[in-house]
Amino acid sequence: MLKTVRTIATLAAAGALLAVPATALAVPGGQGQGHAKSCQKPPKLGYQVSGTLMSVTEDDSGTPGVNEATVTLTVTVANSHARKSDGIADQDATTEGVQVKGATYTVPTSDAFVLNKHGYVDPDTPSAGDFVKVSGRIALTKKRCAPEGTSTADRYGAPDVRRVTIFDRDADV
Protein backbone atom coordinates (compact mmCIF):
# COMPACT_ATOMS: atom_id res chain seq x y z
CA MET A 1 0.00 0.00 0.00
CA LEU A 2 2.79 2.45 0.84
CA LYS A 3 4.45 1.75 -2.50
CA THR A 4 1.20 2.58 -4.38
CA VAL A 5 0.70 5.86 -2.48
CA ARG A 6 4.32 6.85 -3.16
CA THR A 7 3.93 6.11 -6.91
CA ILE A 8 0.72 8.15 -7.16
CA ALA A 9 2.30 11.08 -5.28
CA THR A 10 5.38 11.01 -7.56
CA LEU A 11 3.21 10.96 -10.70
CA ALA A 12 1.09 13.87 -9.41
CA ALA A 13 4.19 15.93 -8.61
CA ALA A 14 5.74 15.20 -12.02
CA GLY A 15 2.50 16.14 -13.76
CA ALA A 16 2.32 19.43 -11.85
CA LEU A 17 5.92 20.30 -12.77
CA LEU A 18 5.24 19.63 -16.44
CA ALA A 19 2.00 21.66 -16.45
CA VAL A 20 3.44 24.89 -14.94
CA PRO A 21 5.89 25.75 -17.79
CA ALA A 22 3.24 24.89 -20.39
CA THR A 23 0.77 27.39 -18.92
CA ALA A 24 3.41 30.13 -18.83
CA LEU A 25 4.21 29.59 -22.51
CA ALA A 26 0.57 29.28 -23.55
CA VAL A 27 -0.03 32.99 -23.01
CA PRO A 28 1.56 35.27 -25.66
CA GLY A 29 4.35 37.33 -24.15
CA GLY A 30 5.41 34.48 -21.85
CA GLN A 31 5.29 34.39 -18.06
CA GLY A 32 1.54 34.96 -18.12
CA GLN A 33 1.86 38.64 -19.19
CA GLY A 34 -0.24 38.36 -22.35
CA HIS A 35 -0.37 41.14 -24.92
CA ALA A 36 -0.72 43.87 -22.31
CA LYS A 37 2.93 44.31 -21.36
CA SER A 38 4.59 43.39 -24.66
CA CYS A 39 2.30 45.69 -26.67
CA GLN A 40 2.53 48.76 -24.44
CA LYS A 41 5.51 50.32 -26.19
CA PRO A 42 6.04 49.66 -29.90
CA PRO A 43 9.67 49.32 -31.01
CA LYS A 44 11.26 52.26 -32.83
CA LEU A 45 13.09 51.29 -35.99
CA GLY A 46 15.57 53.08 -38.25
CA TYR A 47 14.20 55.39 -40.93
CA GLN A 48 16.52 56.42 -43.80
CA VAL A 49 15.73 58.40 -46.96
CA SER A 50 18.35 59.72 -49.40
CA GLY A 51 18.12 61.79 -52.53
CA THR A 52 18.83 64.99 -54.39
CA LEU A 53 18.13 68.37 -52.77
CA MET A 54 15.34 70.45 -54.29
CA SER A 55 15.11 73.23 -51.68
CA VAL A 56 16.16 74.03 -48.13
CA THR A 57 15.12 76.66 -45.60
CA GLU A 58 17.30 76.87 -42.52
CA ASP A 59 16.02 77.37 -38.99
CA ASP A 60 15.82 80.95 -37.71
CA SER A 61 18.10 81.16 -34.66
CA GLY A 62 16.11 84.17 -33.39
CA THR A 63 13.12 81.98 -32.45
CA PRO A 64 14.33 79.37 -29.95
CA GLY A 65 12.08 76.38 -29.39
CA VAL A 66 10.44 76.70 -32.83
CA ASN A 67 11.72 74.80 -35.86
CA GLU A 68 11.21 76.58 -39.19
CA ALA A 69 13.69 74.42 -41.11
CA THR A 70 12.36 72.58 -44.15
CA VAL A 71 14.14 70.31 -46.57
CA THR A 72 12.60 69.00 -49.80
CA LEU A 73 14.30 66.33 -51.86
CA THR A 74 13.78 64.00 -54.79
CA VAL A 75 14.10 60.48 -53.38
CA THR A 76 16.66 58.13 -54.90
CA VAL A 77 16.65 55.45 -52.20
CA ALA A 78 14.86 54.64 -48.93
CA ASN A 79 15.22 51.79 -46.47
CA SER A 80 12.52 49.16 -45.95
CA HIS A 81 10.77 50.95 -43.09
CA ALA A 82 10.61 54.25 -44.99
CA ARG A 83 9.13 52.49 -48.04
CA LYS A 84 6.56 50.49 -46.09
CA SER A 85 5.46 53.37 -43.83
CA ASP A 86 3.34 55.00 -46.53
CA GLY A 87 5.12 58.33 -46.00
CA ILE A 88 6.50 58.26 -49.55
CA ALA A 89 4.14 57.71 -52.47
CA ASP A 90 4.58 54.60 -54.63
CA GLN A 91 5.93 55.69 -58.01
CA ASP A 92 5.07 52.48 -59.91
CA ALA A 93 1.97 50.64 -58.72
CA THR A 94 2.39 47.93 -61.39
CA THR A 95 5.69 46.75 -59.88
CA GLU A 96 5.68 44.60 -56.74
CA GLY A 97 6.67 46.46 -53.57
CA VAL A 98 6.90 50.21 -53.07
CA GLN A 99 8.97 52.04 -55.69
CA VAL A 100 10.11 55.38 -54.21
CA LYS A 101 12.73 56.54 -56.70
CA GLY A 102 11.66 59.91 -58.10
CA ALA A 103 9.17 60.77 -55.34
CA THR A 104 9.22 64.17 -53.67
CA TYR A 105 9.75 64.06 -49.89
CA THR A 106 9.55 67.02 -47.52
CA VAL A 107 10.87 66.67 -43.98
CA PRO A 108 8.06 67.61 -41.57
CA THR A 109 8.62 70.91 -39.74
CA SER A 110 7.10 69.32 -36.65
CA ASP A 111 10.37 67.41 -36.17
CA ALA A 112 13.18 69.23 -34.40
CA PHE A 113 16.00 67.78 -36.49
CA VAL A 114 19.66 68.70 -36.65
CA LEU A 115 20.73 70.10 -40.03
CA ASN A 116 24.33 69.17 -40.87
CA LYS A 117 26.19 70.54 -43.90
CA HIS A 118 29.33 68.82 -45.23
CA GLY A 119 31.81 70.17 -47.74
CA TYR A 120 30.58 73.77 -47.83
CA VAL A 121 33.15 76.57 -47.84
CA ASP A 122 32.01 80.19 -47.31
CA PRO A 123 30.19 81.69 -49.17
CA ASP A 124 28.92 78.39 -50.66
CA THR A 125 25.46 77.30 -49.48
CA PRO A 126 23.30 74.25 -50.17
CA SER A 127 21.81 74.32 -53.66
CA ALA A 128 19.58 72.14 -55.79
CA GLY A 129 21.36 68.96 -56.85
CA ASP A 130 23.29 68.41 -53.61
CA PHE A 131 23.03 64.99 -51.92
CA VAL A 132 20.72 64.72 -48.88
CA LYS A 133 20.43 62.00 -46.24
CA VAL A 134 17.49 61.97 -43.80
CA SER A 135 17.83 59.82 -40.66
CA GLY A 136 15.36 59.13 -37.91
CA ARG A 137 13.23 56.57 -36.09
CA ILE A 138 9.74 55.26 -36.73
CA ALA A 139 7.46 53.29 -34.39
CA LEU A 140 5.99 50.02 -35.65
CA THR A 141 3.09 48.31 -33.90
CA LYS A 142 3.66 44.56 -33.80
CA LYS A 143 1.35 42.56 -36.03
CA ARG A 144 -0.07 40.61 -33.11
CA CYS A 145 -0.76 43.86 -31.21
CA ALA A 146 -2.67 45.56 -34.03
CA PRO A 147 -6.37 44.96 -34.72
CA GLU A 148 -7.11 42.19 -37.20
CA GLY A 149 -6.99 43.34 -40.81
CA THR A 150 -4.66 46.32 -40.17
CA SER A 151 -2.35 46.92 -43.14
CA THR A 152 1.41 47.11 -42.76
CA ALA A 153 1.42 50.82 -43.66
CA ASP A 154 -1.18 51.53 -40.94
CA ARG A 155 0.96 49.83 -38.28
CA TYR A 156 3.72 52.43 -38.79
CA GLY A 157 3.60 55.67 -36.84
CA ALA A 158 4.83 59.07 -37.99
CA PRO A 159 8.58 59.26 -38.60
CA ASP A 160 10.68 61.16 -36.06
CA VAL A 161 13.42 62.77 -38.16
CA ARG A 162 16.47 63.43 -36.01
CA ARG A 163 19.14 64.41 -38.51
CA VAL A 164 19.29 65.79 -42.05
CA THR A 165 22.71 65.91 -43.66
CA ILE A 166 23.39 67.82 -46.89
CA PHE A 167 26.59 67.06 -48.83
CA ASP A 168 28.03 69.59 -51.30
CA ARG A 169 28.05 68.06 -54.80
CA ASP A 170 28.59 71.12 -56.98
CA ALA A 171 31.89 72.86 -57.75
CA ASP A 172 32.94 75.55 -55.28
CA VAL A 173 33.36 79.06 -56.65
**pLDDT at residue 82, rounded to an integer:** 93
pTM of the predicted structure, to 2 decimals:
0.73
- Counting residues of the chain whose pLDDT is more than 90, the rounded percentage is 46
Can you point out the beta strands (E) in the chain? 44-57, 70-78, 104-106, 114-118, 131-139, 160-167
- Residue 158: pLDDT over 80: yes
pLDDT tens per residue, range 84-103 = 998 888 889 898 888 999 99
Q: How far apart are the C-alpha atoms of 23 and 31, rounded to whole Å?
A: 8
DSSP at 143: G
Among residues 46, 50, 47, the alpha carbon closest in space to that of 132 is found at 50
pLDDT tens, residue by residue, 21-52? 555 555 444 444 556 788 888 999 999 999 99
pLDDT band at 116 (very low <50, low <70, confident <90, very high): very high
Task: Round the average pLDDT of the chain to a whole number and report it.
Answer: 84
| Amino acid at residue number 50 | S
Report yes or no: 137 and 44 within 8 Å, Cβ to Cβ: yes
pLDDT in tens, 118-131: 988 888 889 999 99
Q: Is the peptide bond before 123 cis (omega within 30 degrees of 0)?
A: yes
Buried (b) or exposed (e) across 6-45, using 16+ Cβ within 10 A? eeeeeeeeeeeeeeeeeeeeeeeeeeeeeeeeebeebeeb
pLDDT at position 13 is: 78
Nearest to 52 by CA among 173, 168, 171: 168
* pLDDT of the residue at 55: 94
Q: How far is CA 107 from CA 53, 128, 133, in A?
A: 12, 16, 11
